[in-house]
Amino acid sequence: MTLKERDKKHLWHPLTQHKLHPEAIAITKAKGCVLTDENGNEYIDAIASWYTCMYGHCNEFITNRVSQQMKTLDQVVFSGFTHEPAILLSEELMTILPQNQNKIFFSDNGSTSVEIGIKMALQYHFNKGDKRNILIAFEDGFHGDTFGAMSVSGLSVYNGPFEDFFLDVKRIPTPNGNNHDAILESLKEIAKSNTIAGFVYEPLVQGAAAMKMHNAEGLELILKFCKANKIITIADEVMTGFGKTGKYFASDYIHTKPDIMCLSKALTAGLLPMAITSCTQDVYDAFYSEDISKGLFHGHTYSANPLACTVAIAGIELLKSKEIQDNIQRIINSHKDFNNRIKNHPKVKSTRQTGIIFALDLNIEMERYGNLRDKLFSFFMSNGVFLRPLGNTIYILAPYVISEKQLEKVYKTIEDVLVTI
Ligand SMILES: *Cc1c(COP(=O)(O)O)cnc(C)c1O
- Locate the ligand 1 atom nearest the alpha carbon of residue 273 and give its number: 7
Q: Is 264 in the pocket of ligand 1 (CB under 6 A)?
A: yes
* Residue 151 alpha carbon to ligand 1 centre in Å: 13
Tell me the pLDDT tens digit for each residue of 117-147.
999 999 999 999 999 999 999 999 999 999 9
User: Residue 291, annotated ligand binder?
Assistant: no
Q: Is 111 in the pocket of ligand 1 (CB under 6 A)?
A: yes
Q: Is 115 in the pocket of ligand 1 (CB under 6 A)?
A: no
Pairing of strands 260-263, 275-280: antiparallel
Using CA positions, which residue lies closest to atom 11 of ligand 1?
143
Using CA positions, which residue lies closest to atom 5 of ligand 1?
110
Task: Say what the pLDDT of residue 369 is.
Answer: 61
Task: Say what the pLDDT of residue 368 is.
Answer: 62
Of these ranges, 104-108, 160-164, 369-373, the one predicted with the greatest mean pLDDT is 104-108
Among the ranges given (67-71, 335-339, 372-376), the one the predictor scored with the smallest mean pLDDT: 372-376
- Locate the ligand 1 atom nearest the alpha carbon of residue 208 and give its number: 15
Task: Say what the pLDDT of residue 157 is.
Answer: 67
Tell me the pLDDT tens digit for each residue of 46-56.
999 999 999 99
User: Residue 299, annotated ligand binder?
Assistant: yes
User: Residue 50, annotated ligand binder?
Assistant: yes
Tell me the pLDDT tens digit for each residue of 377-389.
999 999 999 999 9
* Torsion 319-321-322-324 (CA) sign: negative
User: Residue 13, annotated ligand binder?
Assistant: no
User: Residue 265, annotated ligand binder?
Assistant: yes
- Locate the ligand 1 atom nearest the alpha carbon of residue 239 and give its number: 15
In b/e form, how buried is each residue of 179-217, taking b as 16+ CB within 10 angstroms? bbeebbebbeebbeeeebbbbbbbbbbbbbbbbbbbbbe
Q: Is 108 in the pocket of ligand 1 (CB under 6 A)?
A: no
Amino acid type, 205: V
**DSSP collapsed to 3 states, the chain:** CCHHHHHHHHCCCCCCCCCCCCCCCCEEEEEECEEEECCCCEEEECCHHHHCCCCCECCHHHHHHHHHHHCCCCCCCCCCCCCHHHHHHHHHHHHHCCCCEEEEEEECCHHHHHHHHHHHHHHHHHHCCCCCCEEEEECCCCCCCCHHHHHHCCCCCCCHHHHHHCCCEEEECCCCCCCHHHHHHHHHHHHCCCCEEEEEECCCEECCCCCEECCHHHHHHHHHHHHHCCCEEEEECCCCCCCCCCCCCHHHHCCCCCCEEEECHHHHCCCCCCEEEEEEHHHHHCCCCCCHHHCCCCCCCCCCCHHHHHHHHHHHHHHHCHHHHHHHHHHHHHHHHHHHHHCCCCCEEEEEEECCEEEEEECCCCCCCCHHHHHHHHHHHHCCEECCCECCEEEECCCCCCCHHHHHHHHHHHHHHHHHC
Task: Say what the pLDDT of residue 367 is.
Answer: 64
Q: Is 175 in the pocket of ligand 1 (CB under 6 A)?
A: no
Tell me the pLDDT tens digit for each residue of 241-267.
999 999 999 999 999 999 999 999 999
Using CA positions, which residue lies closest to atom 10 of ligand 1?
143
**Average pLDDT value for residue range 270-290:** 98
User: Residue 373, annotated ligand binder?
Assistant: no
pTM above 0.75, yes or no: yes
Q: Is 318 in the pocket of ligand 1 (CB under 6 A)?
A: no
C-alpha 358/C-alpha 213 separation (Å) is: 10
pLDDT band at 97 (very low <50, low <70, confident <90, very high): very high
**Average pLDDT value for residue range 310-329:** 98
Residue 370 has pLDDT above 90, yes or no: no
Query: Roughly what angle, to the nearest 10 degrees, separates helices 322-342 and 306-320?
Result: 70
Task: Say what the pLDDT of residue 156 is.
Answer: 63
Q: Is 268 in the pocket of ligand 1 (CB under 6 A)?
A: no
Mean pLDDT of the chain: 96
User: Residue 79, annotated ligand binder?
Assistant: no
Mutate to test the pocket of ligand 1, among 51, 239, 245 (most ligand atoms within 8 A of CB): 239
